[in-house]
A and B are shown apart, each in its own frame.
Chain A
Amino acid sequence: MDILATVRLYIGEMVAQAGPQMKVLLMDKETTGIVSCAFAQSEMMHKEVYLFEKLDSPVPREQIKHLKCIVFVRPTQENITLLCQELRTPKYAQYFIFFSNIANKSDIKQLAEADEEEVREVHEYFCDGIPLSKHLLSIGMRNPYDASFRLSTTSLLHIKQTIIALTLALKKKPTVCYQRTNEDCERLAGEVAQTMRREDGLYRNCKEDTMLLIVDRSEDCATPLLNQWTYEAMVHELLGIQNNRVTIDGQNLVLSELQDDFYEKNVSANFGEIGQNIKTLMEQFQSKTQIHKNVESIADMKSFVDEYPQFKKMSGTVSKHVSVVGELSRLVGTESLLEVSELEQSIVVDGDHSQCLDRIRVLLNNRKISNLNATRLVLLYALRFESNQSNDINGLINILKQREPAASSLVRSLLRFGGATRRKNELFGGQSAVEMTKRFIKGLKGVENVYTQHTPFLLQTIDAISRGKVNEQLYPKHASSEFVPRVDNIIIFMVGGATYQELFHVRAANERRLQSGGPAILLATTHMLNTKGFIEQLRAMGGGQ
């Protein structure tokens, strides 16, 4: 399952349907994100698509009568209305309409009545989510929850539509499973299964070798609260990736595995390795050009790139990564991230209460620690030691209040959203004999890297499914969904946002598949989280109480 390749094929086919001649691509807010992650703008231009317009742009669009227009939009009521207006006063010569999902017959009729003879083709091409990489699809929906921590009606509908389109894009007719402890997941699973039955005709040629698992973020709130050290996850945590783009010093940089070899190779590498890999490239360049210069630190790298423009040419995109890594390393230093990260890991992995409490108190009073990091530590503490009788959550909230006025409301929201009573799982390791033994062995072996000890809860689920041992108590099949005899593919939909750390494990599972088998995994989610985004989500849900 490679959703990025599939979406590229869909978009390529749209262009092919429109045929030769100059073209304009008319999109909505969501489909703009889809196209921008699947193709570079210049790539589209080489396909004779020279202009990109938004259907809902507030500025009236210019009339250019010699253009063919490819319309790629979601079939929402709003878009249908706008399209009718467009067709009544057409700005382009011909229209080729592609809906990203199942459109109502009545809407198509409404369009036809507004049109005279400009429209040549009307299709449904099922790309209704942003393909961020091969194994990752995101809706790009900020905070899908309402104040009661439940999915709002509009988000639920949108998520359902995206899931339906995703299965159709991959030509899969999956069995639908869900996280039993979450009502939204159950409702979603039901609606997806129902739609699949209703649209049976569309699923005619779809394979029955896939499991769709719908889970909720509340199952694991620890992962989005941690600092990350693998490249992609780290960039998102510290700089924020928006549809594969990141902004540094006002400069917009594209981080796409599709167009950037170095990024593709290093996306899962840890912070130390990336610096090493850039250094190796520079040394290769030096030996080729017989330059002798000592490149040791990131600062050296930066000045090297400035001094040797030829390197920029040879290495292509590597110089871009020098500035990204440079910025990361600056932040690691100024915000004492190593110290913070070590403590975070101690909280979620070792869980020695009194030691953690002391260290958090020290860091909360350290001015070098940013407000965000102070908040994350307190939230992690609350999540971890919620049920520890001697915990001092209130004491920490009081210290944090000086930096974060909403401290107590944030902690309350977190515990209501993803606390022990709601998640009903063993997020921080169970008390079973197997778990104990595992921890014991780990203790004997020692840890390789103190900053990356924690693994997301999702990994346990992935491992279990890969071994064919799904806990049917936790993740039952929906009653109205059909049974699939052999599962070779898993689509995990995570409601409420996923992290790049989770994607890291999905990537790893897919790579393992090449060596030793196991199912292919695709991660889909409402949006990509980092700590900042997650805290904002909690803030919105807390409603400032």
Chain B
Amino acid sequence: MDGGSTGIRQGFICPFCLVDLGSYNALAAHVENDHPEDANTPAVEQLKGFFDKAKRSIKRFDPGLDIENLRGRVSSGLTAVASSSSMTQIDETSPKQTHQNTPTTTRSNDPTPRFEAKSKSRERELRQRARRPELPPYRPEIGVTQKHTEYYVRCREASVNDLAVRTNTLIIRMDKLINEAPADPAKRKGKLTNPALAAAMQDEDEESAKKAEVRSLEKLADLAQRTSGHLRGLIGSSKGSRDGTEDAAEQLRVCVPCLSLLEKRELQMEARNPPALVSIYERLIILLNEISNLSPAYAKMASSINNGEALYSLSSAEEIRSKIARKQQEIDLISKSIEGDETENMGFRERQLRKNIRFVAIQTLQNVISNMQGLPTAEKYAELAELHRRKVARQVEEQRAIAQRAATTAARAIRSDTSSPEAIPAAKMTPSSSFIGRSVDDGWTPELSHSLHNNPFAEQVEQKHPLEEQRDIIKGYLSQAAAAGRLEEVEMLERNLRDLEIAMREHQIHTP
């Protein structure tokens, strides 16, 4: 980027709190100290792609040190990252790297002794590795499975077809029966116009009532209506006569097998209109997911604010806090309504089911609440912010002083002393172990959307300015973050976008 433009901040700026630290060493130390990758805080809280890359690039960009040392560090950093994928791979690649790259890239005036010293320690390291057996890290995986669904469905089709035919025949018969019955209930009794059905029903006389069951006409008509739409007319006409008291005449006798067919039909119909519980439960699950996503974002904000950092505003944290509180309330209310009260008439298992749903909701809430940190008042926050500013300023000063001292010593000793880069504690410079152990399953990462790229079928590819391209990418991320409800990321991306647009104005690139 061109220098001189006032809108762009240059220098050793911490990507987390935007403080200029003056030198690489100070910045690196600052990142290690003030923005440690805490293995305890969930990965969600970090906008993975952005932060990790920013940090890694800080770690890699190291002008004050000799390249060889740096390379060793970067490659060990890479191995640390890669070790989660495969150990054997590392053992093959890392020696190659040291032996091929080191001599050519060493820029020091007198490379030989240094190289030897380095390669010796490398060799020792390799020997140590070689002594350990090659054990690829064990990743449990699901075992063999076998699917029979297709075969099952094929077997089922034959019998299901048969059943469907029987049910349909029955429905059609009933349609006729009800449709063609005389309107006068008195006449209807025992005068079935469908001879086949009449015959079937006459077989079942009063004495064999055990086998037969009596059902109200209304119920049957209802069933039939739902099954075959053309019965609707009949229902409308018969409704008038049914408004009064139940008439014995409005009952039909159906044999047991037919009744079971009808009942099955009825149940299938019911399944298509699920009970109210199902939709209430769906709402509950949505809320539980939302609150589980919001609370880590809030935790991150709250701890930053309680630290006095200026990364988030107090008001936005308060907003999220009250949003979580509202969701908590709603979850509590909904899950309580699902559990129902003792007076409600339901089966033992149904009650247990509802109790268990409530239990899960409560447990999730407890988890959320126990992880919620309080927020300072505005006055207290101002105090904290002041404290933090002072602390950072002091640290910056200290780091600068150390760096200067180190620079002078290094300059003096550069020819003889190979250990001068150790002015920065080596332990702090190696990638933190949390890099390896970081779990990613709960994180959110935006994906590059293809629509943002140029149309591959376009004849002439219009070359975009890199800033413009970057803005499109950020916009894409932004809409994804908004869709995923990641408030924290939305805010950050918006900030990022604003900065970009300022930069683009500086470059006189058209901003829409």
Interface residues of A (CB under 8 A from B): 2, 5-6, 8-10, 13, 20-22, 24, 42, 45-46, 48, 50-51, 53, 61-62, 64-67, 93, 102-103, 105, 108-109, 111-113, 115-117, 119-127, 168-171, 202-203, 205-206, 513-517
Contacts and interface: CB of A to CB of B under 8 A. Distances in A.
B149 interface: yes
B350 A64 contact: yes
27 contacts: A6-B141, A6-B143, A10-B143, A20-B285, A21-B278, A22-B278, A22-B357, A45-B359, A46-B360, A46-B364, A48-B285, A51-B352, A64-B349, A65-B271, A109-B155, A111-B152, A112-B152, A112-B159, A113-B159, A115-B156, A116-B156, A124-B146, A169-B144, A170-B143, A202-B146, A206-B144, A513-B133
Contacts of B160: 115-117
A122 B147 contact: yes
Q: Which 5 A-B residue pairs are closest in the complex by CB-CB distance?
A: A5-B140, A517-B133, A112-B155, A169-B143, A112-B156
Nearest to A67: B353
Nearest to A106: B155
A108 B353 contact: no
A2 B140 contact: yes
Contacts of B282: 21
Interface of B: 132-133, 135, 138, 140-149, 151-156, 158-160, 163, 264, 267, 270-271, 274-275, 277-278, 281-282, 285, 347-350, 352-353, 356-357, 359-360, 363-364
A65 B275 CA distance: 9
B133 to A, nearest CB: 3
Contacts, number: 137
A170 B141 CA distance: 8
A123 B145 contact: yes
Contact of B356 (A45, A112, A125, A513): A45
A61 B352 CA distance: 13
Nearest to B144: A168
Contacts of B347: 62, 64
A171 B144 CA distance: 6
Contacts of B151: 105, 108, 122
Q: Is the interface of B mostly helix, strand, loop or mixed?
A: helix
Contacts of B147: 121-124
A433 B146 CA distance: 53
A323 B97 CA distance: 56
A429 B267 CA distance: 71
Given A116-B160, A116-B264, A119-B152, A13 B356 contact: no
Contact of A113 (B140, B142, B156, B271): B156
Name which of A8, A124, A205 has the most chain B CB atoms within 10 A of its CB: A124
Name which of B143, B149, B277, B357 has the most chain A CB atoms within 10 A of its CB: B143
A393 B163 CA distance: 73
B204 to A, nearest CB: 23
A2 B141 CA distance: 9
B145 A514 contact: no
A299 B159 CA distance: 68
A108 B156 CA distance: 10
A170 B139 CA distance: 11
Given A42-B360, A64-B349, A113-B156, 9 more contacts: A9-B141, A22-B278, A46-B363, A66-B275, A112-B152, A112-B153, A112-B159, A116-B163, A123-B145
Contacts of B349: 51, 53, 61-62, 64
